[in-house]
Amino acid sequence: MKSADVQEEIRELNLAYLMLAQQLVREDREIAMFRLGIGADVADLISGLTTAQIVRLSSQQMMLCRVRFDDSALLGMLTGEGRDAATASLHAAIIAAGRPVETLA
Amino acid sequence: MRNKSVLAEAEDIQRAVEMIRLGARMQMLESETRLSRERLLKLYKEVRGVSPPKGMLPFSTDWFITWQPNVHSSLFMSFYRFMKDTAQLPDLDAILKAFRLYLDHIEAEDMEEVLSLTRAWTLVRFFDADLLQQATCTCCGGNYVAHAYDPTHEYVCGLCNMPSRAGKGRRSRRIATDRNALV
């Protein structure tokens, strides 16, 4: 993959992420906080971004969202290892819901 | 009890309609809104088209400990704790939002709804009354619903240590064959 392509892909993903996140937060703040794994301060920040700010923020060279579940047991469950898919996903959801969220330092 | 403010009454009605749509029973509606029983009955019939079910609510904590209900109520409880602690919502809003998340999860996974809104509400009341507590599984680290005052230092959850026939009832087999037929 060429570096210009990579940058373009990252920019597109950042833009899509920010737009989705903002839409979710504006629709239902608390449920969005859960789905995105963010705290109240980050949620307010995202919902207050203007379109120009979103465009500028997404054209960074780095990804704005990061891997949320950096835990091998949890990743195994989320990818469906275990006796059956339905219970594995329930198990993963129970553990994931107890995880701390991203907040502003 | 009569409502003084029309605005507060309108809010209560909206709340009650939302709860009825999600499957609340009369006991929950009466305790969470300030509307009279007659108005709630009328509202219920208008929203659902039938009279509300009669009789007492289930009052045993044991239901929440059996395998399948335990998994589902633990899932609801972790959503509820998020809504209470992280999002800092008041009790009823936290219950309703957590229950929405629970329904979304169930729907996405094509499972049957084990926990009803009234059960979920009862669960929270049992927690408030210190009849149930959350126990941390020593194997996976998740939080699960358990009897209060049970020893929890060696607690292992029903998902890490699954009983041999758990989730293999007649109904789940039918769902599994349906799924295979689709593939």
Whose structure tokens read 């009823």? B92
A101 burial via Cβ count (<10 Å: 0-12, 13-18, 19+) = middle
The predicted pLDDT at position A21 comes to 95
d(CA A2, CA A16): 21
The predicted pLDDT at position B171 comes to 59
pLDDT at position B167 over 80 = no
A83 touching B, CB under 8 A?
Answer: yes
Q: Among A38, A43, A42, A34, which Cα is nearest to A93's?
A: A34
Helix axes B91-108, A85-97, angle to 10 degrees: 150
Q: From residue A86, give the alpha-carbon distance in Å to each of A20, A32, A78, B24.
A: 27, 23, 10, 26
pLDDT band at B15 (very low <50, low <70, confident <90, very high): very high
pLDDT at position B166 over 80 = no
Q: Using a CB-CB distance cutoff of 8 angstroms, which residues of chain A are in contact with residue B82?
A: 34, 97
The shortest C-alpha distance from A4 to chain B (Å) reads 37
Q: Name the residue in chain A with its Cα closest to that of B160.
A: A91
d(CA B130, CA B151): 15
Q: Using a CB-CB distance cutoff of 8 angstroms, which residues of chain A are in contact with residue B86?
A: 33-34, 39-40, 101
What sign results for the dihedral spanned by CA atoms B98, B100, B101, B105?
positive
Q: Name the residue in chain B with its Cα closest to that of A102.
A: B86
pLDDT in tens, B60-115: 899 999 998 999 999 999 999 999 998 889 999 999 999 999 999 999 888 888 99
ipTM at complex level: 0.83
Inter-chain touch A73–B140, beta carbons under 8 Å = yes
pLDDT in tens, A30-87: 999 999 989 999 999 999 999 999 999 998 888 888 887 777 767 776 676 666 777 8
Q: Among B126, B128, B120, B65, which Cα is nearest to B95's?
A: B120
